[in-house]
Structure 1
Amino acid sequence: MRRPGRFVGWLSAAVLLGWGLSWAMPRIPGALDDLDWFRVRNLRVEGLRYLSTTEVKLTAAVPEATNLWDDTAPVAARLRAHPLIRAVEVSRRLPGTLVVEVEERVPVGLVPTPTLQPVDRDGHRLPLDPSRRSLDLPVIRPGHAVRGAPAPAAIAAAAGEAARLAEVDPTFWAGISAVTEVGLRDVVLEWGDPAVRLHYRIPLSQVRMREALAVLADAADRAGGHLPATLDLRFTDQVVVRWGGLD
């Protein structure tokens, strides 16, 4: 049989412990702030390819008196505002290091503005000099003429398809000289040398790509080495060969 006194004793201890924790927990961050051991002394940056560590540190603008347990949201927000940063995570490493893991915006094409300017898979223009970076990328064009630089939405489908092809088949992607958006889901690739236009609805599957290349080789063989102007892949189970322009 349990003794009531022992139960009351345990209950009292639990109440006192809960009260103690409720009193102490709100005061812990303030106490940690007062410890010099937790002052941020180092900012470690990871995941860079185009940005420099110095540029990231300047953008992060971590105040000298920052404590490791301070809110990192303002630092992350400043970094996300940089045009070359797609995403960022800020973590802590004891005793005094903030670790910044950066996902950069990767250039997938060049947009005439009228000078060629790199864009990422979302169509955002990137502050990179193609001549200094040796960027060998296809030209991305909107489906209709625009004055100045096209808005990201006008080239998002073409830029996204260029990025996808670079990931799934780098060899095929290396032969693309231009990607033009000609409809909501239609793009035209200029591929090979001399260039042949491939007109299709995105995304272009690996199977469909192999079918197109097989038809292209057969057409060239039948025409004594001459290449058609366009392969139209928009129709199911068909590859339409055109020797003139786009229809």
Structure 2
Amino acid sequence: MAAGSLDTGVSAPNRSGAGEPPRWQRIVRVTLIACAVGATLASPWWGPRALARLDFFHVRRVVFEGMRYTPRGEALALLKVDTLQSVWQELAPLAERLEAHPLVARAQVERQLPGTILVQVVEREPVALVRRKDGRLDPVDGAGHRLPIDPTRVPMDVPLSATADSALMHLLDGLRANEPALYGRVERAERVRTRGAPDEFQVKLGEVTVRTTPEVTVDRFKDILPVEADLARNRLRAVELDLRFRNQVIARQP
């Protein structure tokens, strides 16, 4: 028997009612099936094995949640699920196979009776675009890994960076997760190396450049916010905010 095609969309309801059994028969049928399933599951060792042999529990739909960047076709290919398989199969291997995709950080697979596999995906989020030597841009995640996403096809509002510096990407990822408004202001970020001086990060927030050490935390980076607020109250602005000195924020005005 050949495997049929899986439904990965939302099925439209049948509004005609043609060919359907009476409502009471459908209720009785569903009730009997539910009782049979409950009784079978009460025997955890052989119950799922017995149910897996029933055509009623063959996989008919695969539903993905949380996927924005991962191509659906690639995810289905990794799952290796078809309509000859049962929803009562082992689900952990499906999640493990999907987590092999470079865009998938975590996956959780559940069954929805009678014939649906629900896949919840946490993707690796791009935090910056890094320019290649040929001029093209690569999305990079918080660990500095380049992600196989074409930014010309998938719009993303992330800052530019000269390199995929892992410490810098970690900072940007922390801002994205914990201070999205502040992260949204970042236009460009880079590590600056100067002979005879320690490395520093320079983060461009519109017209303001933030200078800090590579050891900076998100909490320390947030120290610029009350300084900016105080300057605004006094109708002043800074072109540079320097966090390189312990417990200080030095504001340089134009």
TM-score range, shorter chain: 0.5 to 0.7
SS at match of 1:100: strand
Q: How far 1:82 moved relative to its partner?
A: 1.1
Structure 1, gaps ≥5 residues long: 1-23, 143-149
Alignment of 1:35-184 (within 5 A): 35-114=54-133, 115-142=136-163, 150=164, 155-181=165-191
* 1:213 aligned residue: 228
* 2:209 aligned residue: 196
Q: How far 1:212 moved relative to its partner?
A: 4.5
Deviations for 1:42-88, whole angstroms, at most 9, x for unmatched residues?
11111122234444323322143212211122221221111111110
SS at match of 2:153: helix
Do structure 1's residue 239 and structure 2's residue 252 form an aligned pair?
A: no
Structure 2, gaps ≥5 residues long: 1-42
SS at match of 2:63: strand
Q: Which has the larger radius of gyration?
A: 1
Alignment of 1:3-14 (within 5 A): none
Count of matched residue positions in the alignment of Structure 1 and Structure 2: 203
Q: How far 1:242 moved relative to its partner?
A: 6.5
Cα distance change on mapping 1:119 and 1:32 into 2, 3 Å: same
d(CA) in 2 for partners of 1:58, 1:26: 30
Identity level (%)? 34
Which AA in structure 1 matches 2:217? P
Cα distance change on mapping 1:26 and 1:237 into 2, 3 Å: closer
Which one has a larger percent helix, Structure 1 or Structure 2?
1
Cα distance change on mapping 1:84 and 1:232 into 2, 3 Å: same
Cα distance change on mapping 1:62 and 1:211 into 2, 3 Å: same
TM-score (norm 1): 0.68
d(CA) in 1 for partners of 2:189, 2:137: 14
TM-score (norm 2): 0.66
d(CA) in 1 for partners of 2:176, 2:46: 52
Q: How far 1:162 moved relative to its partner?
A: 1.2
Please say which of residues 102-111 and 25-34 is displaced more in the overlay: 25-34
SS at match of 2:211: strand
* 2:24 aligned residue: none
Whether the 8 Å CA contact 2:140–2:147 is kept in 1: the answer is: yes
d(CA) in 1 for partners of 2:205, 2:44: 63
d(CA) in 1 for partners of 2:231, 2:150: 36
